[in-house]
Amino acid sequence: MTIKSIRYLVVHCAATPPTRDIGVKEIRAMHLQRGFNDVGYHYVIRRDGRVEKGRADTVAGAHVSGFNSVSLGVCLIGGVDAKGQPDQNYTPAQYEALEQQLLKLQAAYPAAQILGHRDLSPDKNGDGKISPNEWLKACPCFDVRAWWNARGSR
């Protein structure tokens, strides 16, 4: 499936501990094992800040159910502690690379909203807000909108 218009730039985490540095190759293998036809993300940011290309931007991802045809997925490696609990354990290099990648994507898709995977969870109580108790996942373990706004990158 091809993407017709990009409405969202969605930040994810790989749900890996900080000691595990993987990239597109490893995630592709995991996703193929789960029945996907390729790596689900368009970009992966490794622990040292290197950005690896996953799917083409013109191809719908497999990263956020119900929104794949209108979004690009950017995955940060990390996101859980050694016990598998959600943890915002990204490196400064990852945050810098994330900001730079989002700036590039925002230039290409100026109407797209920048948000985290958890922000696309359903609003179960209908109050117009996605509360922590409504998140399907904590991914990416931080408030992407607040981080983006604080960076002054917009």
At 154, the pLDDT band (50, 70, 90 cuts) reads very low
Residue 66 clears pLDDT 50, i.e. is over it: yes
Q: In what order do the strands lie in the sheet with 8-13?
A: 51-53, 43-45, 71-76, 8-13, 113-116
pLDDT of 84 reads 86
The CATH number fitting domain 8-151, selected from 3.40.80.10, 3.40.50.300, 3.20.20.105, 3.60.21.70:
3.40.80.10
In angstroms, how far is CA 139 from the centroid of its own chain?
8
Contacts of 118 (CB under 8 A, 6+ apart): 130, 135, 136, 137, 138, 139, 140
Which of the following is catalytic: 13, 75, 139, 141?
139
Active-site residue, 137 included: yes
Average pLDDT over residues 116-121: 88
Q: Which pLDDT band, with edges at 50, 70 and 90, does 116 fall under?
A: very high
Confidence of residue 82 (pLDDT cuts 50, 70, 90): confident
Identify whether 41 is a catalytic site residue.
yes
Q: Which two tokens stand for residue 64?
A: 């956020």
139 catalytic per annotation: yes
| Catalytic, out of 12, 31, 42, 63 | 12
Q: Rounded distance, CA 133 to CA 122, Å?
A: 11
Q: Residue ranges of the domains in the chain? A: 8-151
- Considering 31, 42, 63, 117, which one is annotated as catalytic? 117
pTM above the 0.95 mark?
no
**Would residue 31 show up in a list of annotated catalytic residues for this protein?**
no
63 belongs to the catalytic site: no
pLDDT tens digits for 20-32?
A: 999 999 999 999 9
